[in-house]
Structure 1
């Protein structure tokens, strides 16, 4: 059984096989505006549905990237030393003030602890924007998690648009549960360019990956998101082949997948 609690934004508490894993910690209160670099910024609109002190013990943090506050804010950063392991991008591991393991896409590590099955974590490719945007948007990875007895991988897409790297994930990894970072992010300074998956792209990746369950995250709580749940539901209305796999998690409430 996989139990997930959506804290808000990209932050998800995953409880599986005796492990307690947290993705992209964001726990700052709402109201502050954060600069993302190169003339881009956004305001946090809602706070976390679970306070850091109420999370309980953490075995690991899976950090898709450290350099944008909507994926790692100040209170989230303060939480990192409490995690047994922090896994992130190779460049992010060099920047963080805690000991972290940095992975390039398709590199694998194992989370091991007595009395529970090891989890194999494979970094999956992301492109956080249009072609050639990596020098501006920075490095991002997703994570595919597998363990003994799992029906398939638990895949966390990370902040990415649909591109060849995600299609490669669909070819290489059998996915049981897909956690999709959505939102269709845009900024006024870059016009129509997108920096995360749109609803239409979400439907396409679901058709490629065919997960048993798909969990949307990172579509609410910030001003730079241009597509929320209503947009995704509208796209899914025309995709009966995949819409039944989508599970919207209530914020702050554990859900068994």
Structure 2
């Protein structure tokens, strides 16, 4: 599997002939975006690759469609380049595409393509904040992708989520070869100490539970509402148990890296 980290939550995965793009964000730096309840964030870093650099893709894994740090204006153009878009049920209703599939947590779908192995995709649970914020922040899912005939996923994208019981239970049986772990400890001044995504300490616990072959931190830089960015997260990971440290792989932006 070859993974290219593009920025924020966005990565290109090239795997067994499949080209998979996660949460496309391709706007330049400098824009300010509005989120729920009038909260805002500024995009501080542009993408390491352009859409033209990425080219055509087979599948977009879109954890949710309604926040610009996971799907910005330029990122929407990436959806049209994909043969298939996988997202939430609400996201599928809001997305115009010939093959957009909405999944709730636990839902499954099959990806097939000429000359490519079949992939089963299972939507994994996410909670994008405290329980009472769910009606405000909306639905989110992660995705576990398993090649036909394999016992465990080759790829798991956690999606934007805090660490909670449903996620822990899902992680316990996954054992993915590669996990893209969304962190960043998203916070807004308006809601004080509330976090809307995992911080690095949460990720350590999740990695211990899921036991991926490789864990790639993403969704950790490029936006002002990420309260724990790469340098701070790296310090936490450096003090984690060796069993976790040995799994974590920081990928340079814009550089394809072979994993596993």
Superposition TM-score tier, normalisation by shorter sequence: over 0.9
**Correspondence 1:165-244 to 2 at 5 A:** 165-239=166-240, 240-244=242-246
Structure 1 residue 149: deviation in Å? 6.3
Structure 1 residue 212: deviation in Å? 1.0
Which of 242, 251, 254 matches 1:252? Answer: 254
Distance 2:220 2:71 in 1: 16
Distance 2:149 2:174 in 1: 16
Distance 2:124 2:11 in 1: 18
Distance 1:28 1:149 in 2: 38
Alpha-carbon spacing, 1:254–1:149, altered in 2? closer, same or farther (3 Å) = farther
Distance 2:245 2:152 in 1: 19
Residue in 2 aligned with 1:114?
Answer: 114
| 3-state SS of 1:172 partner | coil
**1:11 is the counterpart of 2:13:** no
Structure 1 residue 164: deviation in Å? 1.0
Q: Structure 2: which 5+ runs fail to align?
A: none
Distance 1:135 1:156 in 2: 23
Cα displacement string for residues 228-248 of structure 1 (whole angstroms, at most 9, x for unaligned residues): 122222222322221111000
Residue in 1 aligned with 2:42?
Answer: 43
Distance 1:203 1:229 in 2: 14
Residue in 2 aligned with 1:20?
Answer: 19
Q: Is the 8 A contact 2:64 2:139 kept in 1?
A: yes
Structure 1 residue 147: deviation in Å? 0.3
Cα displacement string for residues 22-75 of structure 1 (whole angstroms, at most 9, x for unaligned residues): 000100011110001212110000110000011122101110000000000111
- TM-score normalised by length of structure 2: 0.95
Q: Is the 8 A contact 1:151 1:176 kept in 2?
A: no
Cα displacement string for residues 96-154 of structure 1 (whole angstroms, at most 9, x for unaligned residues): 12241100001010110111101111100000001221101100000000104657311
Structure 1 residue 195: deviation in Å? 0.4
| 3-state SS of 1:194 partner | coil
Q: Is the 8 A contact 1:112 1:118 kept in 2?
A: yes
Q: Is the 8 A contact 1:129 1:195 kept in 2?
A: yes
Q: Structure 1: which 5+ runs fail to align?
A: none
Q: Is the 8 A contact 1:152 1:177 kept in 2?
A: no
Distance 2:36 2:171 in 1: 31
| 3-state SS of 2:35 partner | strand
Residue in 1 aligned with 2:90?
Answer: 91
Q: Is the 8 A contact 1:125 1:141 kept in 2?
A: yes
- TM-score normalised by length of structure 1: 0.96
Identify which range, 183-192 or 232-241, moves more after superposition.
232-241
